[in-house]
Structure 1
């Protein structure tokens, strides 16, 4: 009955949202429905919120407040599965950031960002705790296997000694021609041989058991170095490929910790979010206090030295950066008996850092994307072939065909902020694509209107019908003519009126 279960979960989600909106106590509801607090609820919450934002953009802010309140409550709920509760809360926070952008809602955006960072840290703590328990179990299992193997080897040695003694006795009795006793001794010798064979087979089996590799590696990503700066960050690299290349190095067994340092509130880095989540990388939020000091480098070095002292099982430290400042960090790690792997773009890694690393993994030099081409390279000929131009023009035409939105265009017009939100909801990465024209949003829309002849215009920061603008202008002209006919004015006044 999958459909019935899904309907029940959706009904439960709606009841939670209504109770949150009405300021009801949520803990009793959660306690009575612990079985419904699962991964499906997190996925359902993401889908429901995204659908509501798309269908009800005018009500998006109110919906966002309810989602933040619900996520905060579930994050602090101690019953059920804490890990799943965190995933539900994270789903709510991440979807709300679609609305709470830093430009329009800086306060709300910072609150949600901090809550999301706390949830990420809690999830990392839970994962680290689980990994620690598994590692402890692994060590205990290896110890038990070692003890059993040693016991078997001792028994095998004893059996070999007994076998040698019996061989000596048999040779002695054969010389004395005592056939009856020799027969019993031969039988006993045969049994001992069989026992020896079984012990050897068991020992070989124990030795052939797969060795459990330990988590001995930590990777630290300097995202600002990978993006080659902040002004125009390059995102044409693969964290997955970097991790794969690291795992191929012989000294690396398993990766225990991965941390990526950046100002994750920068909306341009959200393209890395899927890779971060998929690879289990902890996103460490960094706020630079001065543009002359790299706070990410400082925090990375502090975390590395702390782990080098507190985690003796970590033997390999991977620094994904070509910054020469990390050369001193690599030397200090060597003093602690740790191995260091450097990873950076080919030809852009500091030679001193490369020389002190035990291994170096090159990253292919980034290729310039089409999206990175400056606006000066966009000509009138290729404007009509631009994907963002075509999609925006199509949505503007759909506004004219929609009865409700067409009525708004004819009466009061639709504000440019609403037009911006509609385009963002319908075009993936809209802001990144139109900003390459290096102009204001209003000028961008005005250019599309002029090029495509959509029958629209912009007046008082609103999108309206051209017919309405013409009507307004025509009415004003009639009033002006009527005033000229009904009053006595001089030529100077006529000239001023005409100019206006």
Structure 2
């Protein structure tokens, strides 16, 4: 943004916060400035608030309350783009948490967390609607591709028939060996070569269309945090089925075909040997990691790096599945949303981080890894949201 636009946006933000502080009607001010309600404004709110909190720590709690109140207002503001309004509210809530910690102001922290979870859930609903629209458009695109392929194949068949007819006619004329037909034969030979070239181009086009359609089908990548599945390293619980987990993921409508599967852990641990046959059977790539610090989870770091690399280098991958309930992956899920990706979390029902569940588009719940529950069915559930009554 230019400095002039930034200055105007800052003044608009100050006017909104002032009106909120003075309990004035904020909606008219929002209605008059719908063009300023965009992603840049959400970023401005976040960065400006953090800067103010840092520069004026004594007034930060009061400012945080004003921003929280404004975020509640913009969250339910229906004019303009509701999705952007929601992102502005989320930016405000997340900025407030920079000041309102559980230790310093537990009541404000709890209220902000509750509001943020609801906002994340609303964001999920919006993303789900966008995904459904994308799926409908994708179906239409596939239908168009199929129609185009049929047309190209018909044209290819016609071209082949013309080539055969011309070849027969040229052969017959050559057999007659009539000098007067030499020019005509030359003309037909030229036409035949042109038809052959066109025939070759049609074959290439059909191959490209089929290849493009096939690539779009492979839209899913799955990342297994084995340490989370085994519920720790000291006494790993191996009573879970990777095959059943994979099946529950593949059954989702969002998943076309699975392109990549990676499982992260220290595979040199002999206790994990029982999993090796299963990951080979399922086509899962084992990623070998060595933990140099007990407190530092190398698997989480490497998994996040690989996910972001694939998000940039493989545009056909639209669905990212994280098999872990670790709340540390919530930030990764939010970043993937910024790139327009769908994020699914698959984890134990009672060990799924609440924030992670809220920010993901789908949550697949699997039973706790107890011997008698290995063969239980895996059921799909939505994200758990705790609201105060």
Which residue does the alignment assign to 1:45?
45
2:297 to 233, 236, 245: 236
Aligned residue pairs: how many?
302
Q: Identify if the C-alpha distance between structure 1 residues 180 and 149 changes in structure 2 by more than 3 Å, giving closer, same or farther.
A: farther
Q: CA deviation at 1:283?
A: 10
Q: CA deviation at 1:169?
A: 3.3
- Quick check: 2:97–2:112 contact (8 Å CA) kept in 1? yes
Rg (Cα) greater in structure: 1
Q: Give yes or no for the alignment of 1:150 onto 2:150.
A: yes
Q: CA deviation at 1:124?
A: 2.9
- Quick check: 2:220–2:319 contact (8 Å CA) kept in 1? yes
Which residue does the alignment assign to 1:216?
220
Q: CA deviation at 1:11?
A: 0.6
1:53-452 matches, cutoff 5 A: 53-181=53-181, 183-208=183-208, 211=212, 212-214=215-217, 215-217=219-221, 228=232, 234=295, 236-237=297-298, 239=300, 241-243=302-304, 245=306, 254-258=317-321, 274-280=331-337, 295-296=350-351, 324-325=369-370, 332=377
What do you get for the CA RMSD once the two structures are aligned? 4.6
> CA offsets, 1:224-265, max 9 Å, x none?
669959xxx9453464621555788xxx9625154687696x
Distance 1:222 1:89 in 2: 35
TM-score under structure 1 length normalisation: 0.49
> For 2:25, what is the secondary structure of its paired residue?
coil
Residue ranges of structure 1 left out of the alignment (5+ in a row):
287-292, 309-316, 334-500
- Quick check: 1:145–1:206 contact (8 Å CA) kept in 2? no
- Quick check: 1:100–1:108 contact (8 Å CA) kept in 2? yes
- Quick check: 2:225–2:323 contact (8 Å CA) kept in 1? yes
Distance 1:189 1:318 in 2: 68
> CA offsets, 1:343-371, max 9 Å, x none?
xxxxxxxxxxxxxxxxxxxxxxxxxxxxx
Residue ranges of structure 2 left out of the alignment (5+ in a row):
234-293, 379-389
- Quick check: 1:149–1:203 contact (8 Å CA) kept in 2? no
Q: CA deviation at 1:72?
A: 1.0
Q: CA deviation at 1:17?
A: 0.3
Distance 1:37 1:221 in 2: 39
Q: Identify if the C-alpha distance between structure 1 residues 61 and 119 changes in structure 2 by more than 3 Å, giving closer, same or farther.
A: same
